[in-house]
Structure 1
Amino acid sequence: MLKIILLTSLAMLAFAGNSVLSRLALASGSIDAASFSSIRLLSGIIVLAILLPVVAKVREGEAGHFRQAFRGSYKAAAYLFIYVIGFSYAYLTLDTGVGALILFGSVQLTMILISLFAGARFQFMEWLGLMMAVVGFVYLVFPSLTEPSLLGFVLMTIAGIAWGLYTLKGRGAEQPVRDTAYNFIKTLPMIAVLTLLTLSDARFDSSGVMLAIASGAIASGLGYAIWYMALTGLQNVQAAVVQLTVPVIAAIGGVIFASESIGERLIVASLLVLGGVLCVFLSRHRAAKTA
């Protein structure tokens, strides 16, 4: 349980870091959305490809990384690619609060609805925790909410659905680092097509490229591998609700790294979201212990 909590916490930090890096790059206009997406994915591929032989040596009886049977999933790779593209282009027309609300709302609804259709039954404490987390999240972003553009809304909703499906796909990962690496690698044909289609509109400076590399190599590549590790010990509803901590962590990151002020709203929202997540985890833990 402690290992899963640690891995989940690291993954949420990576997700929050990714949001900050993406906003800095795209909001400043230092790189276009397509180039940011391509560099982000390519950086993740390089880092994970370097990491694969290290993981292979640690795991007894596993061969070198490219000598293994080709793993991962083209379906998961497609979900990953759609998420990255939708996320990048949506933030060209959405402000941060609206984008985050649409993204994480879509992720949560996707995962919870699929769980319900699959026959899952939620306990009262889980519903209570879910409602607390949603209220806290909306309370946090509400001051910045404006009417979103229709295109931005659609793109971010698609990105959220894709990330929810990618997360659910990861629950079956037997070797998370390897599967994440091959999911990234399998986006290469998609990256090539995107690059060819958007080459004439490409624009970037050194700052934008560095932010995209940091987003892809650390927050995406390593962060998503850690998330796949964490998913082996999380139920669907836990995985859905815990991701609502990301906007809170990102807001705290803004206080630390961007000298933003911390106010009553952030404190109240953080308590609601974290308290809701705790309710969900305790309910699932108690149910598992009883069973």
Structure 2
Amino acid sequence: MRLFLLISLTMVAFAANSILTRLAIAGGHMDPSGFALIRVLSGAVVLGMLMTLRGRSLRLLRKKRLPGAFSLAAYMVGFSLAYLTLDAGLGALILFGVVQIAMFVHAAITGMRPSLRQVSGAGLAFAGLLIALWPGAGGNTDVVGAALMVVAGLGWAAYSIIGRGAVDPLAATTANFLLCLPILIVLLIGPALSLTITGAALAILCGGLTSGLGYALWYRVLPQIEGATAAVVQLSVPILAILGGALLLNETVGVLLMVAAAMVVGGIGWTVTAPKVPVDHR
């Protein structure tokens, strides 16, 4: 029961990232660049505090840290800018779908021969994404916003793949947040920066709680569950974001969006629960 509660709390935190970002940016409380900067800064502070509490040192300047930092930066930039126009639920659906499909393709290329079930599941999920992006299907469906969220999804997929090889995931995440900050400063600092107290509070909440602590909690529960289970439980994130956007942000949830969500969730669920077929190396 305790493990179930921890996993549920983590999924709510992940969905809350979309809702908080959309609320701050689309609500006019903060610009996307400032939100991303404060989110990463507050996340780095919280993660740094966790490292201190653990009594662990952090080796920051390593070459292998840079790919993680750059992929995290791509996620943060695309994620924040996309929510200028996308609804919270639609954004989470695009992000989640792209992440899972990208990781499936990576696994197929680097050592796992996909089965017919896996290919059909990925195809169903991809078709669901296309429906979600169809004009009018997801409420506020903007081509530029969708493209930015695709970039965010690819960035998070790369970040997740890189993180699988981390000996100390919390230390790696802390280092990536710290190294990501100067990258974002170079990319995002400009005259358009603006914020309100409400916007800053939302960014701190998103970075320190639902991102920093959310990621730390996820790394805590991951060793206790199987890989397929970890993939399946994340299917709840876009659904939670869609429901949260409808209840808290008054976002429109059309029939086509629900059909698309069902296709993405069902397709990925069908894929990740399929038996793995190793490549025959001869």
The TM tier, using the shorter chain, reads: 0.7 to 0.9
Contact 1:86 1:158 in 2 (8 A): yes
Amino acid at match of 2:65: S
Contact 1:111 1:164 in 2 (8 A): yes
Structure (1 or 2) with the greater helix fraction: 1
Give the SS at the match of 2:240.
Answer: helix
Q: Which runs of 5+ in 2 are unaligned?
A: 278-282
For 1:177, the equivalent position in structure 2 comes to 170
Residue 243 of structure 2 is aligned to residue 249 of structure 1? no
**Which is worse superposed, 36-45 or 134-143?**
134-143
For 2:192, the equivalent position in structure 1 comes to 201
1:144 to 138, 142, 149: 138
**1:46-94 CA deviation, whole Å, 9 max, x = no partner?**
111111122x2xxxxxxx33x4433771210111111101111122244
Q: Which runs of 5+ in 1 are unaligned?
A: 57-63
Q: What is the RMSD of the two structures over their aligned residues, measured on CA atoms?
A: 3.8
Contact 2:128 2:259 in 1 (8 A): yes
C-alpha change, 1:10 and 1:275, in structure 2 (3 Å) is: farther
C-alpha change, 1:29 and 1:264, in structure 2 (3 Å) is: closer
Contact 2:71 2:158 in 1 (8 A): yes
Give the distance between the partners of 1:276 and 1:126, measured in 2 at CA: 9
TM-score (norm 2): 0.77
Deviation at 1:144, TM superposition (A): 2.1
TM-score (norm 1): 0.74
For 1:107, the equivalent position in structure 2 comes to 99
Give the SS at the match of 2:148.
Answer: helix
Amino acid at match of 2:142: P
Give the SS at the match of 1:186.
Answer: helix
C-alpha change, 1:175 and 1:270, in structure 2 (3 Å) is: same
- Taking every aligned residue pair, what percent have the same amino acid on both sides? 40
Amino acid at match of 2:50: L
**1:135-162 CA deviation, whole Å, 9 max, x = no partner?**
677777863256633x434322221111
**1:105-129 CA deviation, whole Å, 9 max, x = no partner?**
3222321111111131334554565
For 1:23, the equivalent position in structure 2 comes to 22
Give the SS at the match of 2:84.
Answer: coil
Deviation at 1:190, TM superposition (A): 1.8
1:226 to 189, 212, 217: 217
Give the distance between the partners of 1:147 and 1:253, measured in 2 at CA: 18
Deviation at 1:234, TM superposition (A): 5.4
- 1:1-291 aligned at under 5 Å gives the runs 9-54=8-53, 56=54, 64-65=55-56, 67-70=57-60, 73-96=65-88, 99-127=91-119, 130=122, 143-144=137-138, 148-149=142-143, 151-194=144-187, 197-198=189-190, 200-229=191-220, 235=227, 243-254=234-245, 257=248, 279-280=270-271, 282-284=273-275
Amino acid at match of 1:30: H
**1:163-195 CA deviation, whole Å, 9 max, x = no partner?**
110011121222222221121112232244346
C-alpha change, 1:76 and 1:8, in structure 2 (3 Å) is: farther
Contact 2:85 2:140 in 1 (8 A): no
